A and B are shown apart, each in its own frame.
Chain A
Amino acid sequence: MLRFALYSGAVLLAAGLAILWTINHEIASRARETVEAQAQTVAARNLRGHLLPSDFKAPVRGRRLARLDELFRRNILVPGVVGARLVNRGGTITYAARHQLIGTKVPYVRDLARVFAGMPERRVTRTVSWRGEQNVKVLQSLVPVRETATTKPVGALEFDQDYRAIAINISDANHRLVLILAVAFLILYLSLFPILHRVTAQLAARNRRLREQAAERNQHLEAERAARAEAEAIQRLLTEQNERLRELDLMKDEFVSLVSHELRTPLTSIRGYLELMLEEAGNLTPEQERFLGVVDRNSERLLRLVSDLLFLAQVDAGRLAIEREDVVFEEVVQDSIEALRPIAESRRIELVTSIAPLPSLLGDRARLAQVLDNLVSNALKFTPEGGRVSIALRVDGDRSVLEVEDNGVGIPAAEQTRLFERFFRSSRATDNAIPGTGLGLAITKAIVERHDGRISVESREGVGTSVRVELPLASVRALVLTG
């Protein structure tokens, strides 16, 4: 605001001064010309008819001098004219109001030549004393004097005007002009200032806005760049992690394969030789036979544990291979029940079956048999002697529904949500020393889900447990297989 005011004021001031100087110059020039023209007119009119050619021939003396003094005093030396002289073509002053100059030569011969060529001359110079004043500034004019209008000049009239008269005029004009200009510029400035200010304020505001926008844009760009850099970094990190995970996955596969081989090979020997020994049971004492039976059962348990762990490792790796074949599920259920019937009978548990004919379903027969074995043997394990296990199979819409129900010990409510966790064992199992690894239901669930099925458990302590497995039927949808 202040800067703008100072700047615009300075510009206006400079413009004013320039205009003032130009006008001043012009005024001075015109004033001089006017004064000179006046003087010449006066001189020419007053002297015409009074000057003689002889007045230029030689310095004037005697009576003629007195007459010219009279003539000049009356007609030429009006107020403002401080001196007058006649100069002949030779440059000699033939008459001067101040008599001591008569007969001297003028110093300005070159100017004089131009005057005789027809061009009046004027110049500002300083002269001798005038009525007691020294070194008076005068405007000196040289005018050619002719006998007739067409002849060559016989000489020149020179007269000096007091420059102060002109200067005063000029000065008066100047003062008025300065005042007018000052007022004019002030009014102009005052009237223009609000407009200029508004315009510049608008410009400034727009500039500020543009700068802000540019800054904002820069910020956006910066943020975008940063975001892009971050995204790239994350992408890189993810790629690296993926790579590592893939390597880990491969390592896991190799590990699983290795463990599978390394654990199964010794178990193969143990169970193989054991079988050969038990084949010839006649050579063994009853106690030896009993011991070998313990080895047999425990090696089988170990083998089952290894198989279960490997199975779950495959599930984790997403490589659980499932055959796709038409399975008659009711046969799988029947076979499983028949296989387990001896155990049920040995514990006097009643097996109740209710099996409806089903359309075939698409799946892995061996895996589904595993599901049935797990569920039915679980039910048998947790049912006390003399109890009852019922197995029901039916169709419900596009699904087969299998229910395995017992009237055994049941599962405490708090433990029911953890049933499908690996290695989780119900307190009922541990309290009653019922053998198991805690992997059976995890595996069962994995198989059921691999067949796009659902498994759920309902149980009440002391009343019994019911496990329900739903599997989609083959006619409805085909299995989507991976691995």
Chain B
Amino acid sequence: MRLGRLKLRPGRPIRWTNGQTTEGASAVPPKVLICDNEEILRTLVRAALEEDGYDLHEARDGDESLELARRLEPDLIVLDMMMPGRTGLEVLTELRSERRFAETPVIMLTARVQAGDRAAAEKAGVDHFVSKPFSPVELGALAERLLAAAAR
């Protein structure tokens, strides 16, 4: 699926396919943590990202997100803003207070349109906002761009 979308660039001609290495590729695919309480959305995000061969992990709520993030130290976190228990914002604030997560790229998914939410999230350290509903294709492109920038 969607094979034509991936652009190979000099210096980073990498494509991860579920742990299998291709020529000139790094043995370890980037870890991506998907945090959303809705399974159907986690699946959608997974579908948007799995073509790129990332090592995908899912967390169902705020606490699990924190736990997995600390255990896996992912290269990218896709975080839903509204989750039961700890909200995405609280998770992010918590993570950003730890040195190892200071630079980790974070994509915040939000359905909220309320004024001030965006400002609060930006203050907490969000790199990119993706408002629901989102285009899986664009999310995939964004994830790739952020990972590439972080790896450089």
Q: A and B bound?
A: yes
Give which listed residue, A264, A311, A320, A483, contacts B111 with CB less than 8 A: A264
In the assembled complex, A24 has its CB within 8 A of some CB on chain B? no
Q: How many angstroms from the CA of A268 to the CA of B42 in the assembled complex?
A: 11
> How many Å lie between the Cα of A310 and that of B135 in the bound state?
21
Question: With A253-B114, A261-B112 in contact, do A272 and B1 touch (Cβ < 8 Å)?
Answer: no
Contact A269 B40 (CB under 8 A): yes
Q: Residue on B with the closest CB to A271?
A: B133
Which residues of chain A are within 8 angstroms of B116 by Cβ–Cβ distance? 321
The 7 closest A-B CB pairs, nearest first, are A321-B115, A264-B111, A268-B133, A268-B132, A272-B44, A261-B111, A264-B132
Residue picked from B40, B114, B134, most chain A C-beta under 10 Å: B114
By beta carbon, the residue of chain B nearest A253 is B114
Contact (Cβ within 8 A) B136 A272 = yes
Are B2 and A261 in touch, CB under 8 angstroms? no
Q: Is the CB of A267 within 8 A of B133?
A: yes
CB distance from B131 to the nearest CB of A (A): 8
Which of A44-52, A142-150, A275-283, A390-398 binds B? A275-283
Contact indicator B134/A268 (Cβ below 8 Å): yes
A261-B133 in contact given A276-B47, A310-B113 (Cβ < 8 Å): no
| A contact residues, range | 20 to 34
* A169 CB within 8 Å of chain B: no
Measured CB to CB, the nearest residue on chain B to A263 is: B111
Given contacts A269-B40, A273-B44, contact A260 B113 (CB under 8 A): yes
A320 CB contacts on chain B under 8 angstroms: 115
Counting contact residues on chain B (CB < 8 A from A), the size range is: 20 to 34
* A257 interfacial contact with B, CB 8 Å: yes
Contacts of A268 in B (CB 8 A): 41, 44, 111, 132-134
Q: Is the CB of B41 within 8 A of A269?
A: yes
Q: Which residues of B contact A270 (CB under 8 A)?
A: 133
Task: Give B114-139 as 1s and 0s: 1 = Cβ < 8 Å from A's Cβ atoms.
Answer: 11100000000000000011111100
Q: Is the interface of A mostly helix, strand, loop or mixed?
A: helix
Would B115 and A276 count as touching, CB distance under 8 A? no
Supply 20 A–B pairs (Cβ within 8 Å), ascending by A.
A257-B112, A260-B111, A260-B114, A261-B82, A264-B133, A267-B132, A267-B133, A268-B44, A269-B40, A269-B41, A269-B44, A271-B135, A272-B48, A272-B135, A275-B136, A275-B137, A276-B48, A276-B136, A280-B2, A319-B115
Whole-angstrom distance between the alpha carbons of A279 and B2 in the complex? 7
Q: Please encode chain A, from 262 to 302, with 1 for each CB lying within 8 Å of some chain B CB and 0 for all others.
A: 00110111111101100110000000000000000000000
CB proximity of B139 to chain A, nearest CB, Å: 9
Residue of chain B at shortest CB distance from A321: B115
Q: B51: shortest Cβ distance to chain A, in Å? A: 10
Flag if A314 contacts B115 (CB, 8 Å). Answer: yes
- Choose one: A275, A280, A314; the contact of B113 (CB below 8 Å): A314
Question: In the complex, what residues of B have CB within 8 A of residue A271's CB?
Answer: 133, 135
Contact with A along B9-49 (1 / 0, CB 8 A): 00000000000000000000000000000101100100110
Given A261-B112, A271-B133, A280-B2, 19 more pairs with CB closer than 8 A? A256-B114, A260-B111, A264-B132, A264-B133, A268-B133, A269-B38, A270-B133, A272-B134, A276-B44, A276-B47, A276-B48, A279-B2, A279-B137, A303-B133, A314-B114, A314-B115, A319-B114, A319-B115, A483-B115
Residues of A within 8 A of B (CB): 253, 256-257, 260-261, 264-265, 267-273, 275-276, 279-280, 303, 307, 310-311, 314, 319-321, 483
* Residue ID in chain B nearest A264 by CB atoms: B111
Question: CA A5 – CA B59 in complex, angstroms?
Answer: 110
| A256: chain B residues within 8 A (beta carbon) | 114
Q: Report A-chain residues with C-beta under 8 Å of the C-beta of B135.
A: 271-272, 275
Tell me the complex Cα distance, A321–B116, Å. Answer: 8
A15 to chain B, nearest CB (A): 97
B1 adjacent to A279 (CB under 8 Å): yes
- From A260, A280, A319, B1 is in contact (CB under 8 Å) with A280
Q: From residue A364, how far is it (CB to closest CB) to chain B in Å?
A: 11
Q: What's the Cα separation between A303 and B135 when bound, in Å?
A: 13
Shortest distance from the beta carbon of A324 to any chain B beta carbon, whole Å: 13
Given A265-B38, A279-B2, A280-B1, A272–B133 Cβ distance below 8 Å? yes
- A257 to B87 Cα, complex, angstroms: 14
CA distance A211 to B1 in the complex (A): 103
Q: Which residues of B contact A257 (CB under 8 A)?
A: 112, 114
Tell me, in angstroms, the Cα distance from A477 to B115 when the chains sit together.
23
Min distance, Cβ A475 to any Cβ of chain B, angstroms: 27
Q: What's the least CB distance linking A70 to chain B, in Å?
A: 151
Point out the residues of chain B lying under 8 angstroms from A269, CB to CB: 38, 40-41, 44
Across-interface contacts of B114 in A (CB, < 8 A): 253, 256-257, 260, 314, 319
Q: Given A265-B38, A272-B44, check contact A260 B136 (CB 8 Å).
A: no
